[in-house]
Chains A and B, each alone.
Chain A
Amino acid sequence: MALLEIKNLHARIGDTDILHGINLTINRGEVHAIMGPNGSGKSTLSYVLSGRNGYEITEGDILLDGESLLEMEADERARAGMFLAFQYPVELPGVGGMAFLRAAVNARLREQGEDEVDQLGFVKLVRAKANELGIKDDMLKRAVNVGFSGGEKKRYEILQMALLNPSIAILDETDSGLDIDALKIVSEGVNSQRGPEIGMVVITHYQRLLSHIVPDFVHILSAGKIVKTGDKSLALDVEENGYSDMMENANVA
């Protein structure tokens, strides 16, 4: 059975239709890249998949392991294995980072019928994973995302992904705001989580990220529709020729 199936998905915010019939099937072990110009609906798709309020699904369905997600709240989806690395991670003043990470991990463990983590062991685990991502100890002590640089926020998203061990991860422009060294570290962090059980959707504007996280499939999103699908060479096409050619061709086709 497919891991995630997006079927003819139409979605709107208020009176504005944004997604116009998206079809996409992701199997375990696959990495799909979604590329597209600004405003094409990439973040909207990521929010709709993860269950953010305020989006109306006017048609279609989203299935995770064959079960429709549409009636599930964001937290239920997350506990079922969905993870979104935000394009703009949210600052939570006053919410301690460690308490936040532990609440998230415990919520997932409870769902799986497992014991909650013990505090000391958890702190060690977090430190070790953080270290791999070049996250300093002092960042872990701060409030969630508060006072983090753009790059630090992105690393912190990947740290959360590593701790939550999702079955489907959506990374929304994780490369934006990263310099080349940070990009390498973050990509290594993501690659180390690749495996036969997890599916990934890597959303990006640029080909650059995809030379580090090499996708199995590349889809081009334009005006709320997937207009082209190919393998990793499609990303190189975009890099050379830009989106406009491709979109014109797609519109003609």
Chain B
Amino acid sequence: MSPDTITLSSVQNRAQERFAETGWPAKKAEAWKYTSLENLVSASLQPANDISGAVATPKEIAGPHCRLVFHGGQFRDDLSDALPAGVRLVMLGDDESALAAIDELGASDNLVSRLTVAKMTAGISLQVAQGALIDRPVMLQFVGGAPAASSHPVIHIDIGDGAHFAYAEHHETNNRLSAPFIVVRVGAGAKLDHVKLQLENAATHHLGLTCLSLGERADVNSMSLSLGGALSRLETHVRLEGEYGELGLSSIYLGKNDQHHDMTTRVAHEVANCNSRQIIRGVLDDNARGVFQGQVRVAPHAQKTDGQQMSRALLLSRDAEADAKPELEIFADDVVCSHGATVGELDETHLFYLQSRGIDEAEARAMLIDAFLVEAVAEIRHQGFAELFRPFLSGWQVPHKG
């Protein structure tokens, strides 16, 4: 099939066929070993098509960003802000190269890349012009929805060579399933800052897939926070395709009650001389469960790769659980790669030291949890995003029932 015959419906048809073939992951599927979708599979989900209702932006999210609103799974041009000069928005169906990229990603056996394209509720493409230096961040806002609905937005972002771009994601829907599929091409010498806030409602399942490709000397700094939802999986695939690419891919998850947070990353060093660095921090209370699966693959000719990955989980309750599965697949010999995964509790000695200074237990715990997260938070390079991010961490803290 030649790329000039590609259409939205052909891509969707293929995704439907692929999804029909593979369906939901089997219980024993290795990639879903720690995260069960049984609840979702048995639910009868309807792709959302609700475009009624007003959209209020929570004040914590307000800011100098340019909002693009997805409400009830639909893209709402009428509620969205005009984009800054240098950024163009077209419907996905009108962007053949975006369609081709999405079609290609659907070929690999991944749930979201098939399911979401098959059941697409909205599709847009953002094109950042070559060399454009965009100061004003774009905020992709996902809100609204209905308890039996699923939303499947597909977003393609193309960042032209040498451009600077920043976008944030705010997910706070009422859907049963929210499954955004975002594909980003970061051109040669381009710079991207990204932050994702997963603040879904308590009953929502969030299965997000983001696929990034980095050209030569591309520089990406990404931070994700998983805070809301009943069950979430934030999956990120990155391909370093040009030399001297720089990737910072960090995440924080905070779980309470019966929440389940899964952070899955797959970083492929395809060429030499790239750096990737992942700092993952999770805090789990009550019966919450956290999962980190991090695969780093270094291709045979990707010499001088520096790949770092460090995951730490802090359990605040005896019933909380954290699982980590780092996977290094290194086929080159001249590389510096490391990974580590730890699970621990608050240190009694640390608590006592703070309490011996008059700081009560709840505040002492909060200080130590902040301290546990600080290294990850420090990874956020974009000042505005760091400020956007922080209140959600302190807001999560509640006095502990000692």
User: A-side interface residues toward B, CB under 8 Å?
Assistant: 50-54, 73-75, 78-79, 83-84, 86, 89-90, 92-95, 99-100, 103-104, 107-108, 111, 143-144, 160, 164
| A86 / chain B contacts, CB cutoff of 8 Å | 353, 356
The reply on B372 being an interface residue by CB < 8 A is yes
B208 to A: closest C-beta gap in Å: 28
| A83 / chain B contacts, CB cutoff of 8 Å | 356
CB distance B359 to A94 under 8 Å? no
CB distance A75 to B370 under 8 Å? no
| B360 / chain A contacts, CB cutoff of 8 Å | 73, 75, 107
CB distance B372 to A111 under 8 Å? no
CB distance B357 to A107 under 8 Å? yes
B258-290 interface bits toward A, Cβ cutoff 8 Å, 1 = contact, 0 = none: 000000000000000000000000000000000
B349-384 interface bits toward A, Cβ cutoff 8 Å, 1 = contact, 0 = none: 110111111111101100110111111000000000
Nearest residue in B to A92 (C-beta to C-beta)?
B350
Nearest residue in B to A94 (C-beta to C-beta)?
B371
CB distance B358 to A164 under 8 Å? yes
Could you write out 30 A-B pairs with CB less than 8 Å apart? A52-B356, A53-B348, A53-B352, A54-B348, A75-B354, A75-B355, A75-B357, A75-B359, A79-B358, A84-B356, A86-B353, A90-B349, A90-B350, A90-B352, A92-B350, A92-B368, A94-B371, A94-B375, A99-B367, A100-B354, A100-B367, A103-B354, A103-B357, A103-B367, A104-B357, A107-B359, A107-B360, A143-B371, A144-B353, A164-B357
Assuming the contacts A52-B352, A74-B352, A103-B363, asked whether A92 and B357 have C-beta atoms less than 8 A apart, the reply is: no
CB distance B374 to A94 under 8 Å? yes
B67 to A: closest C-beta gap in Å: 34
| A99 / chain B contacts, CB cutoff of 8 Å | 367
Please tell me which one of the listed residues A89, A94, A111, A144 contacts residue B358 in the complex, with CB atoms under 8 A apart: A111
Assuming the contacts A94-B371, A95-B367, A103-B363, asked whether A75 and B350 have C-beta atoms less than 8 A apart, the reply is: no
B4 to A: closest C-beta gap in Å: 55
| B361 / chain A contacts, CB cutoff of 8 Å | 73, 75
Most buried by B among A52, A99, A111: A52
Nearest residue in B to A47 (C-beta to C-beta)?
B352
B118 to A: closest C-beta gap in Å: 44
Provide the bound-state CA to CA distance between A180 and B359, in Å: 33
| B367 / chain A contacts, CB cutoff of 8 Å | 95, 99-100, 103
CB distance A90 to B353 under 8 Å? yes
CB distance B355 to A73 under 8 Å? yes
Provide the bound-state CA to CA distance between A99 and B356, in Å: 16
Provide the bound-state CA to CA distance between A51 and B360, in Å: 13
CB distance B371 to A78 under 8 Å? no
Range of interface residues on chain B? 20 to 34
| A73 / chain B contacts, CB cutoff of 8 Å | 355, 360-361
A103 to B: closest C-beta gap in Å: 5
CB distance A93 to B371 under 8 Å? yes
Assuming the contacts A92-B368, A103-B367, asked whether A50 and B356 have C-beta atoms less than 8 A apart, the reply is: yes
Provide the bound-state CA to CA distance between A155 and B363, in Å: 25
Provide the bound-state CA to CA distance between A237 and B375, in Å: 52
CB distance A74 to B371 under 8 Å? no
A4 to B: closest C-beta gap in Å: 16
Nearest residue in A to B349 (C-beta to C-beta)?
A90
A49 to B: closest C-beta gap in Å: 10
Provide the bound-state CA to CA distance between A53 and B370, in Å: 23
| A103 / chain B contacts, CB cutoff of 8 Å | 354, 357, 359, 363, 367
Provide the bound-state CA to CA distance between A54 and B351, in Å: 13
B350 to A: closest C-beta gap in Å: 6
Provide the bound-state CA to CA distance between A74 and B374, in Å: 26
Nearest residue in B to A91 (C-beta to C-beta)?
B350
Most buried by B among A92, A108, A160: A92
| B364 / chain A contacts, CB cutoff of 8 Å | 75
| B372 / chain A contacts, CB cutoff of 8 Å | 94
| B375 / chain A contacts, CB cutoff of 8 Å | 94
CB distance A107 to B371 under 8 Å? no
| A79 / chain B contacts, CB cutoff of 8 Å | 358
CB distance B368 to A78 under 8 Å? no
Provide the bound-state CA to CA distance between A128 and B372, in Å: 30
| B353 / chain A contacts, CB cutoff of 8 Å | 86, 89-90, 92, 144
Provide the bound-state CA to CA distance between A199 and B54, in Å: 65
A74-B355, A90-B349, A103-B367 provided; 13 other pairs, C-beta below 8 A?
Answer: A74-B352, A74-B356, A75-B356, A75-B360, A83-B356, A90-B352, A94-B370, A94-B374, A95-B368, A100-B367, A103-B357, A103-B363, A143-B371
A119 to B: closest C-beta gap in Å: 17
A163 to B: closest C-beta gap in Å: 9
Nearest residue in A to B367 (C-beta to C-beta)?
A95
| A53 / chain B contacts, CB cutoff of 8 Å | 348, 352
CB distance A78 to B350 under 8 Å? no
| A100 / chain B contacts, CB cutoff of 8 Å | 354, 357, 367
Provide the bound-state CA to CA distance between A104 and B357, in Å: 5
Provide the bound-state CA to CA distance between A44 and B245, in Å: 55
A162 to B: closest C-beta gap in Å: 13
Closest 6 CB pairs of A and B: A94-B371, A78-B358, A104-B357, A90-B353, A107-B358, A74-B355
